[in-house]
């Protein structure tokens, strides 16, 4: 399976992307990359500048706020929605707890998709708000 096919399959398995039309998945998959992280490596830095939305495809990450682990996220879930939706800068460190593979979708791609697909923008914001206030 190619990286594009793998990315599309993973995106279709995540509710954040449910509102996108079929044609959008190929475009999105062509504009993202697959990144790997080793245990202890940070995907996102608390109060830093996040430049991607990550869809985890393998492994698990821990979410750490003010040096306290508050939850974990695993393959099939996304991280980075808070900063991508412009709710705030990253509110947590996101750290690999083992080997992690993730689809990285750059900020400019997310921004463009939010303009082109308002339902996607709403879903992104709702997911971010749930993560901020639902903990």
The domain spans of the chain are 3-133
Residue 135 has pLDDT above 60, yes or no: no
As a whole number of angstroms, the distance between CA 83 and CA 85 comes to 5
Q: Which fold has domain 3-133?
A: Jelly Rolls (2.60.120)
More confident residue, 97 or 87: 97
Cβ count near 66 (within 10 Å): 9
Structure tokens at 95: 């750290």
Q: What is the pTM of this model?
A: 0.94
- Asked whether the CA dihedral 87, 129, 12, 102 is positive or negative, the reply is positive
More confident residue, 44 or 130: 44
């Amino acid at each position: 399976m190619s990286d594009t096919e793998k990315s599309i399959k993973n995106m279709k398995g995540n509710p954040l992307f449910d509102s996108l039309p079929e044609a959008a998945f190929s475009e999105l998959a062509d504009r993202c990359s697959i990144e790997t992280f080793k245990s202890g490596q940070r995907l996102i830095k608390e109060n830093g500048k996040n430049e991607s939305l990550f869809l985890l495809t393998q492994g698990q990450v821990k979410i750490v706020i003010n040096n306290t682990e508050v939850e974990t996220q695993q393959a099939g879930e996304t991280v980075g929605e808070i900063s991508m939706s412009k709710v705030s800068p990253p509110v947590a460190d996101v750290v690999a707890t083992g080997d992690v593979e993730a689809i990285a979708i750059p900020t400019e791609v997310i921004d463009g998709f939010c303009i082109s697909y308002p339902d996607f923008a709403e879903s992104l914001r709702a997911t971010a708000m749930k993560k901020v206030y639902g903990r």
